[in-house]
Amino acid sequence: MKYQLRPSRLTRTKGFTIIELMIALSVLSVLLLISALTLMRLGYIYVKGNNQANVQNSARNIVNDVSSQLMLGGAVPDLSHESQGYFCIGTTRYNFVIGKQVNSNPTGYQTEHALWRDTMQSAGACPPLSLTSSNPSDGLTVPGSGQELVPQNMRLTEFSIKPITNSAGFYEVTVGVAYGDDDLLCVRGASLGRGSDCDSNQISANPNGHARNLQNPSGQVGCIGNVGQQFCAVSDLNVNVARRLQAG
């Protein structure tokens, strides 16, 4: 008996063609791009929200500090020098500067202190302090009582205490705080050169005039609506405060 051997059939495994592979990589690339853009957008929202929350907290802390002195300090505030950048409530003294960004190593239009509060040894006299030193004080200052109320990279846009007419013992406290560099902030309604102070091109052409507008705001300070807005935030608070305690 003779056996005849038949050739075996080789099993062929079908793979991806180059075109199919390119299509798959293209789809993957699109998905990765969408994921990256989504993460960037989420990061943008987080940074902006965090900065806005910090600014609001800073403004609220300042309002609470001043309000507590007015309500519970028992003294009539000496506001005669408010236009010169300082005032006193009993033994508590506030020295401030408007429109300058706080920086530990100030340059140009920056400042090391924007709102310095200290406690004096006795009430009565209310002399100003120089905010150019790292620890402003004078012979009336209780040692170690000084504190800066505006955090780094923020600035005061407004700070005032006004007696409410026909309401003895009532005061209106207004506080404005902004976060961001000069080129991210502007003064609504203020002019700069031939255009608006909120025009980024005008700011680039006249940075000194823009910085002067921020230091003497004739309108509301806000953020410029362009690239970098997540690194800018503004908060304005206005409250009415009644003196609850009065010195006898």
Q: Is residue 35 part of a domain?
A: no
When pLDDT is averaged across residues 107-133 and rounded to a whole number, the result is 93
- The 3-state DSSP class for residue 175 equals strand
Please give the C-alpha separations between residue 180 and each of 42, 153, 183, 184, 186, in angstroms, as whole numbers. 20, 6, 8, 6, 11
The pLDDT of residue 1 is: 57
Cα–Cα distance measured from residue 20 to residue 84, given in angstroms and rounded to the nearest whole number: 75
Q: Is residue 5 part of a domain?
A: no
| Gap between the terminal Cα atoms of the chain | 133
Q: Is residue 33 part of a domain?
A: no
Q: Is residue 83 part of a domain?
A: yes
Q: Which residue has the higher pLDDT, 11 or 121?
A: 121
Q: Is residue 62 part of a domain?
A: yes
State the pTM of this model: 0.83
To the nearest whole number, what is the mean pLDDT of the chain?
89
Q: Is residue 247 part of a domain?
A: no
pLDDT digits (tens, 9 = 90+) for 69-83: 998 887 889 999 999
Q: Is residue 133 part of a domain?
A: yes
Cα dihedral sign for 15, 20, 22, 23?
negative
Q: Is residue 237 part of a domain?
A: yes
**Domain assignment of residue 172, given as a range:** 40-180+232-242
User: Of the candidates 102, 185, 181, 110, which has an alpha carbon nearest to the alpha carbon of residue 149?
Assistant: 102
pLDDT band of 19, cuts 50, 70, 90: confident
How many domains does the chain contain in total? 1
The pLDDT of residue 6 is: 59
When pLDDT is averaged across residues 193-211 and rounded to a whole number, the result is 88
Percentage of the residues of the chain whose pLDDT score is greater than 70:
92
